[in-house]
Amino acid sequence: MRILVTAGPTREYLDDVRYLTNASSGRMGYAIVKAAVHAGWDVVLVSGPVDLPRPVGCELVAVDTTDQMREACLRLFPSCDGVIAAAAVCDYKPRERIVGKIVKTGGPISLDMIETDDVLAELGAIKEQRWVVGFALEARNPRENALQKLRRKNCDWIVVNSPAAIGSERNEVELLAPSGEPVASWSGLKTEIADALIDWLQESISDSSTTARK
């Protein structure tokens, strides 16, 4: 089994020194990598900038911006059996990046923002026989919003968590199937949740393969 994992935040630069980002620590994605490697899977990690030790036993592709993460994922995904997209990708970027440094003028400034490319949706669109696990961080109507995301991005399953997960060593999640029903739920340390998720995927993918052969 060879899988792609995305982790951490991305950055979108206003100028050469300032950027937009989020508070993702990357801990959930890195814990998933560790659990998958321990399970004997071949793992390639595409990681945004994080303050975490390099994971042992995996291929690491370090990226900064959403465009860089998109390019790496589209290049690597065809050689994988599936993807677990735990990265907290920056949703917006300035329409234009200023060369140099924006100088203070004493007055307000306005930024023209546009959406970044949807990396998970692009992977879902080209998945073919591969499986896709997405992550949805939802503050309101978590199941409803996560289910819409699952279907819009052509995921096989989606992990729902809340903003309380950001920067924390702990998490509380539900795993939703396309039917909208929760097929699993876990709480505890992110390392424990990662172990449980990989165990669940191993069993579910094995069951699916057995059914397909019958």
Neighbouring residues of 209: CB distance < 8 A, sequence distance ≥ 6: none
Distance between CA atoms of 191 and 203, rounded to whole angstroms? 19
By the 8 A CB rule, do 119 and 69 touch? yes
Count the Cβ atoms, other than its own, within 10 Å of residue 100.
8
Active site residue 145: no
Confirm if 150 and 110 have CB atoms less than 8 A apart: no
Catalytic residue among 22, 141, 154, 171: 22
Q: Phi/psi of residue 135, each to 5°?
A: -120, 140
Give the N- to C-terminal CA distance of the chain in Å, as an integer: 21
Active site residues: 22
